[in-house]
Amino acid sequence: MKQEEFEQAIRGLPFKESAFFESIGSTNDVIAEWASQGVKGLSIAAADEQTSGRGRSGRRWFTPPGSALAFSLLLDLAPSFDKAFLGRASGLGALAVNEALEKIVLQPEIKWPNDVLVDGKKVAGILPEAHWSGERLQALILGIGVNIAADSVPPANELNFPATSVEQSSGKKIEPGKLLRAILDGLVMWESRISQPSFIDAWQTKLAYLGKLVQLENADGPAVQAVIEGLAEDGGLKMRMRDGELRTFQAGEIQLRPLLTEK
Ligand code: BTN
């Protein structure tokens, strides 16, 4: 994306601070730096290329120039926002990306907590990062990466889950600025409703594998199978285990894998 496209995409939106970089390490780090300098209010940093883009679980996120959307937001949650709902921030980016993609591709889905899939392959990832000062939430950062052109999809040996791009999956040429604007409109709208039940309902209706048996993988145990029952109020995932027990997992505790019979 070019600087002019970025500027046009954010025109009229309520950003306190904004910046565009042709090349930067990671846009999440830009926002963290702003927050440490005392910046407050909804803000955005975007880049055409990231040289040390980060994914979840310490993975690398690939953002070669001219091929993807890579941006991070400093969220501006209401003072009344209940910290017990922090897990909902995970769904915020995914919901906005999912709804923006619905106008371009058939049935995008959210692989809980926040990967956006098209045809069972990942097109976008979200990296939420919370910064605390003791008990006080200092900053909530939401990094969003969307694969637009085929060049943004990492080589197969670097993938931890099958991936594709919006252009490959839609067969259409995408204007990155327009897609960015559609995502940001959704983010601004859902950020203001993040505490409402309608937020969880909207996120849940997009969930991939809802009601289906999936594999749960975690760092310290063998993979187990369970059925996805839906979302808990705090954004956790309710799973019906094989022994009938209902358990709720939080983002970061488990990874979902479809069973082989699924796509
Ligand atoms: C994941 O699925 O692992 C999360 C990927 C998040 C990537 C975005 S791109 C913009 C922002 N800057 C980063 O370094 N990461 C996020």
Residues 63, 50: contact at Cβ < 8 Å? yes
**pLDDT band, very low/low/confident/very high, at 221 (cuts 50, 70, 90):** confident
Average pLDDT over residues 193-217: 96
Do 198 and 135 lie in one domain? The reply is yes
Do 238 and 163 lie in one domain? The reply is no
**Ligand 1: centre distance to CA 28 (Å):** 8
How far apart (Å, rounded) are the C-alpha atoms in residues 174 and 179? 8
Do 218 and 246 lie in one domain? The reply is yes
**Ligand 1: centre distance to CA 126 (Å):** 6
Do 226 and 161 lie in one domain? The reply is no
Do 172 and 228 lie in one domain? The reply is no
Q: Are strands 43-50 and 18-24 parallel, antiparallel or unpaired?
A: parallel
Residue 263 lies in a domain: no
As given in the structure block, the two tokens for residue 93 are 């980016």
Residue 219 lies in a domain: yes
Output DSSP code: residue 159.
-
Domain-terminating residue out of 186, 205, 224: 205
**Ligand 1: centre distance to CA 129 (Å):** 10
What does the mean pLDDT of the chain come to?
A: 94
Does the pLDDT at position 136 exceed 90?
Answer: no
Closest protein CA for atom 3 of ligand 1: 55
How far apart (Å, rounded) are the C-alpha atoms in residues 262 and 10? 39
Name the one residue in this structure whose structure tokens are 């705090």: 234
Tally of domains in the chain: 2
Cα–Cα distances in angstroms (integers) from residue 174 to residues 56, 64, 198, 224, in the given order: 26, 16, 30, 39
Domain CATH code at residue 197:
3.30.930.10
Q: Which of 43, 50, 164, 255 to mutate to test the pocket of ligand 1 (most atoms within 8 A of CB)?
A: 50
pLDDT score of 244: 96
Average pLDDT over residues 4-11: 98
Cα–Cα distances in angstroms (integers) from residue 163 to residues 80, 108, 157, 171, 258, in the given order: 38, 13, 11, 15, 14
Average pLDDT over residues 97-108: 94
18, amino acid identity:
S
Q: Where are the beta strands (DSSP E) in 95-179?
A: 109-111, 115-118, 121-133, 136-147
Does the pLDDT at position 263 exceed 50?
Answer: no
Do 102 and 224 lie in one domain? The reply is no
What digits encode the pLDDT tens for the residues 230-253? 999 999 999 999 999 999 999 988
120, amino acid identity:
G
Domain around 39: 3-205
Do 135 and 249 lie in one domain? The reply is no
Do 30 and 107 lie in one domain? The reply is yes
**pLDDT band, very low/low/confident/very high, at 260 (cuts 50, 70, 90):** low
How far apart (Å, rounded) are the C-alpha atoms in residues 117 and 168? 13
**Closest-CA residue to 214 (of 250, 258, 182):** 258
Residues 74, 141: contact at Cβ < 8 Å? yes
The verdict on the CB of residue 28 being under 6 Å from ligand 1 is: yes
Ramachandran angles phi, psi of 98, nearest 5°: -60, -50
Do 231 and 120 lie in one domain? The reply is no
Do 185 and 254 lie in one domain? The reply is no
How far apart (Å, rounded) are the C-alpha atoms in residues 116 and 206? 9
